[in-house]
Amino acid sequence: MGNINLMILHYSKNVQNQLINIVRDLSFIDLTYCGSDFLEAVDAKYLLQSDVVVISQKQFGSTLLDIIDQIKQVNPNVAFIYSYEDDTECLGGVIYEGVKNFVDELKIIDEIPVCLEIIKKGEAFISSTLVKPILDLINTECDSFRKSKSYKYFLSAQPYDILSFLADGKSYLEIAGEMKTSLDVVRFHIKSIYRTLDVNNKGAAIRIFLQNEVGKSPKIENRGRKKRIFDLDKVS
C-alpha cells in the first residue's frame, strides 16, 4: 500500500490538534481533513480523496451508524477507525457495518499512529482494552441475532420508531415532538430509511412497513445484510 489519505472527524479541537501533529511525523500519511463538521467534509469532496476515516462515537451519538452509511455511499472503499467510548450497544452496530479498526477514545493519541501502521500492512487493529468487549459481543449476540425473526429489512431503533410514527399518520413535526428531537434529525433519518428500504417516497416506505417486512434490529445491527465480522488471524 502506498501513502494513506486520512480524514479525521472528531469533536474535540484539542484532540484534532494533537492528531495533526502526530500524523505530520508519519511519512506515509497525507491528511485530507481534520475537524468536526461532517457536512463540510462531504461538500468539499474530502471523502472522495480519503482512504481512511477516523470517526468518534461521542461526536455522532445515535446517528453514528447512519453517518457511516452516508460515508460509504460517497466512498464505498473507505476504511474506518472507530474511536470507542463505553457504548457496547453502539459497538455492535459498528461491527456489523464492517468497521474493523478500533481505538480506545481514552488512548486515541497513542493508538492512532500504531493503528495506521497496522492498516498500512493490510491488517486490522483492535485496542487491547476492546478485545474482550468485542469478542463477548460476537459470542453472545450473533446467536441471538440468528434466532431473531427473519425480516427483509432491519432498521435501528430511532429510524424504526420514526417509520412507525409515519405509518400512524404523524407529520414530521409531530414525530420530532414525540421523539424530543429536531426536525432536521427526523428528516435525516427518513432519508436513511428510504435508502435502506430502496424507496424514494413516504408511501412506499409505509407500505413495506405495514407488510411486516421491516424489523427493529437487535443490539448488533446488520441492516439486512450478511457481513463477515473479522478475519481474526489478521487482527493485530
* Span 157-194, pLDDT tens digits: 889 999 999 999 999 999 999 998 899 999 999 999 99
**Residue that the C-alpha cell 441471538 belongs to:** 144
pTM of the model: 0.61
User: Is the CATH number 3.30.1180.10 carried by domain 153-216?
Assistant: no
* CATH architecture for residues 4-139: 3-Layer(aba) Sandwich (3.40)
State how beta strands 79-84 and 52-56 pair: parallel
**Residue-range domain boundaries for the chain:** 4-139, 153-216
| 8 Å CB contact between 64 and 80 | no
Question: For residue 121, how many C-alpha atoms fall within 13 Å in the half-sphere facing its CB?
Answer: 12
pLDDT digits (tens, 9 = 90+) for 126-151: 999 988 888 887 776 655 555 555 67
